A = this chain, B = another copy of it.
Amino acid sequence: MSPKPLDYESLNENVKKVAYAVRGELYLRASELQKEGKKIIFTNVGNPHALGQKPLTFPRQVVALCQAPFLLDDPHVGILFPADAIARAKHYLSLTSGGLGAYSDSRGLPGIRKEVAEFIERRDGYPSDPELIYLTDGASKGVMQILNTVIRNEKDGILVPVPQYPLYSAAISLFGGSLVPYYLEEEANWGLDINHLRQSVAAARMKGITVRAMVIINPGNPTGQCLSEANLNGLLKFCFQENLVLLADEVYQQNIYQDERPFISARKILLDMGPPMSKEVQLVSFHTVSKGYWGECGQRGGYFEMTNIPAKTVDEIYKVASVSLSPNVPGQIFMGLMVNPLKPGDISYLRFVAESTAILESLKRRAHIMTDGFNSCRNVVCNFTEGAMYSFPQIRLPPRAIEAAKSAGKAPDVFYCLKLLEATGISTVPGSGFGQKEGVFHLRTTILPAEEDMPAIMTSFKKFNDEFMEQYEDYRGYSRM
């Protein structure tokens, strides 16, 4: 009998090709162990609230009031809600046509897109047009929509950093394009080398691939670096010369843990360059409410901003966005709150600042505890997490560990991470899920476990790692490189 339409053998091949390591084998095994009663420390996804981070009070008050607008007419509302939250809820409700239960325009509420444009202008020093800002259900949905617009067939190539966040490889597979890797330089603090970029493009062209877009993730995921101004400048020139649209994943722009290299948006650098480049290079930039000190992942709020994209294309993107009607409205309001925060003098201002500073300062300390912890381990080296939410230590596996992995039918880093999970409950993602240079192994953890748990986690990691290395280093001794 012939297979049925939804039997595995008759599915869309692009669907089957998708790989998504962040919730892959390690995550599934961790979920199993959790069901069996083992305590699991989930560091596989940047999901701060799941690891105990408390939501910021003010935005939650505002959105709660928007969900229950009848409270605004209740004479007792002031007992539970401060006046500025009440005022802000009224403001956002006035931007909707029918409250949170009505579909918005498919691009998002015009009033919130205006607030986003004002935020971008304050950040970059250049005006931004709300008509070129589309709100989305989290940044991932925006990235997917743009990739779907760019990719025509398997001969269209997208330059993606390696290591990369696997959203990119997954979406490129799903839409039937080709991923063209460019390697980040671990020794140069995960910066990028324009000559290598050029070689990647040349190699792709030799295979008949038209490279059409370049992805950057700044601050980096999983690598945690902040790209330098010189790097951004160089890659924008490269996009200009090579006729590439730049997709700038800047979702971690609020997560910066050092002062030497502040976040600078790709858009600011581009506009600083002046014509012809500032008028020519096509750029789409992504942001979200899931990261920063907000961590409101479950709300699914985000936006993308288009620079130098022709009106006809903007219309096409609008049309496709319309097919799924509108991004969720509460998530849009979180986006508004994020880009238009409280100001000095507002009743809730001091509390808001105290809460957000506490989160950011703690993340910064956790970044240090983790990096230092990894660097104290045998055969482990790790760059400092300058930004974002991840630590990406290199694990120098002894040859006998690699052989043992092979016998177990596992990639060496998967083998290591599974052993780590079984021994300690720490659920990480093997570096191979993000792309790796040949013969080099990493793992990714978030820096999100509660600060008070962090020393114990790093002690537990070190104990596992050092015993693992002991076990697999041969008797001749395996010297740390």
Chain A positions near chain B (C-beta within 8 angstroms): 2, 4-8, 10-13, 15-16, 18, 20, 22-23, 45, 47-53, 55, 57, 60-61, 63-65, 67-71, 74, 76-77, 79-80, 96-104, 106, 137-138, 140-141, 144, 148-152, 167, 170-171, 174-175, 212-213, 243-245, 280, 282, 284, 290, 294-300, 309-310, 312-313, 316, 319-320, 322-331
**Inter-subunit contact A68/B76 (CB<8 Å):** no
Q: Is the CB of A152 within 8 A of B12?
A: yes
Pairs A–B under 8 Å by Cβ, sample size 26: A4-B280, A5-B212, A6-B149, A6-B313, A7-B313, A11-B149, A15-B316, A23-B319, A45-B103, A47-B98, A47-B103, A49-B99, A50-B98, A50-B102, A51-B98, A55-B100, A60-B69, A63-B68, A64-B68, A76-B76, A80-B80, A99-B298, A101-B294, A140-B324, A297-B325, A298-B328
Looking at the complex, which one of B71, B284, B298, B329 makes contact with A102 (CB distance below 8 Å)? B298
Contacting residues, chain B, for A100 (C-beta < 8 A): 55, 296, 298-299
A109 shortest CB reach to chain B, Å = 10
Among B45, B167, B243, contact of A4 (Cβ-Cβ < 8 Å): B243
The interface residues of chain B lying within 8 Å CB-to-CB of A319 are 18, 20, 23
In this complex, the member of A6, A49, A140, A152 whose beta carbon has the largest number of chain B beta carbons within 10 angstroms is A6
Please report the C-alpha to C-alpha distance between residue A36 and residue B144 in the assembled complex, in whole angstroms: 35
By beta carbon, the residue of chain B nearest A329 is: B298
Task: Report chain B residues within 8 Å CB of A70.
Answer: 57, 60
A8-B316, A141-B324, A328-B331 are known; give 12 further A-B pairs, CB within 8 A: A11-B316, A20-B322, A50-B102, A55-B101, A64-B68, A76-B79, A96-B298, A101-B299, A138-B325, A167-B323, A174-B320, A300-B327
Nearest B residue to A171, CB-CB: B323
- Assuming the A-B contacts A102-B50, A106-B23, A323-B20, are A174 and B148 also in contact, with contact meaning beta carbons closer than 8 angstroms in the complex? yes
User: In the complex, what distance in Å separates the CA atom of A407 from the CA atom of B367?
Assistant: 69
Copies of this protein in the assembly total: 2
Separation in Å of the A289 CB from the closest CB of chain B? 9
> By the criterion CB–CB under 8 Å, are A5 and B49 in contact?
no
CB distance from A99 to the nearest CB of B (A): 6
- Whole-angstrom distance between the Cβ of A333 and the nearest chain B Cβ: 10
Q: Which residues of B contact A80 (CB under 8 A)?
A: 71, 74, 76-77, 79-80
Q: Say yes or no: B322 contacts A23, CB within 8 Å.
A: yes
Give the nearest-CB partner of A280 in chain B: B4
**In whole angstroms, how far apart are the Cα atoms of A134 and B473 in the complex?**
46
Which residues in B have their C-beta under 8 angstroms from that of A98?
Answer: 47, 49-53, 298
Q: Point out the residues of chain B lying under 8 angstroms from A4, CB to CB.
A: 243, 245, 280, 282
Min CB gap A205→B, angstroms: 14
Chain B residues closer than 8 Å to A20, beta-carbon distance: 319, 322-323
Determine how close the nearest CB of chain B comes to the CB of A61; give it in whole angstroms. Answer: 6
Select one of B18, B22, B63 contacting A320, CB under 8 A: B18
Contacts A5-B244, A298-B103, A329-B298: A97 and B148 contacting too (C-beta < 8 A)?
no
Contact A150 B5 (CB under 8 A): yes
**Are A102 and B49 in contact (CB-based, < 8 A)?**
yes
Q: How far is the CA of A13 from the CA of B20 in the complex (A)?
A: 27
| Measured CA separation A6–B147 after assembly (Å) | 10
**A92, B55: Cα distance in complex, Å:** 17
Cβ of A304 to closest chain B Cβ, rounded Å: 12
Whether B6 pairs with A320 at a CB distance below 8 angstroms is no
Q: Which of B50, B57, B167, B245 contacts A6 (CB 8 A)?
A: B245
Partner of A15 from the list B16, B55, B140, B320 (CB cut-off 8 Å) is: B320
Complexed CA–CA distance, A13 and B149 (Å) = 9
Greatest chain B CB density within 10 A among A70, A144, A151, A323 is at A323
CA distance A322 to B429 in the complex (A): 15
How distant is A96 from chain B, measured CB to nearest CB, in Å?
Answer: 7
* CB of A31, distance to nearest CB on chain B (Å): 8
Q: Which residue of B lies closest to A140 (CB)?
A: B324
Q: A103 contacts B297, CB within 8 Å?
A: yes
- Interchain CB contact under 8 A, B101 and A328: no
A211's nearest neighbour on chain B, judged by CB, is B5
Contact B310–A8 (Cβ < 8 Å): yes
Q: Do B103 and A316 touch (CB < 8 A)?
A: no
Does the CB pair B63–A67 fall under 8 Å?
A: yes
User: Once the chains bind, are A104 and B298 in contact (CB under 8 Å)?
Assistant: yes
Please measure, in the bound complex, the distance between the C-alpha atom of A213 and the C-alpha atom of B6, giving whole angstroms: 9
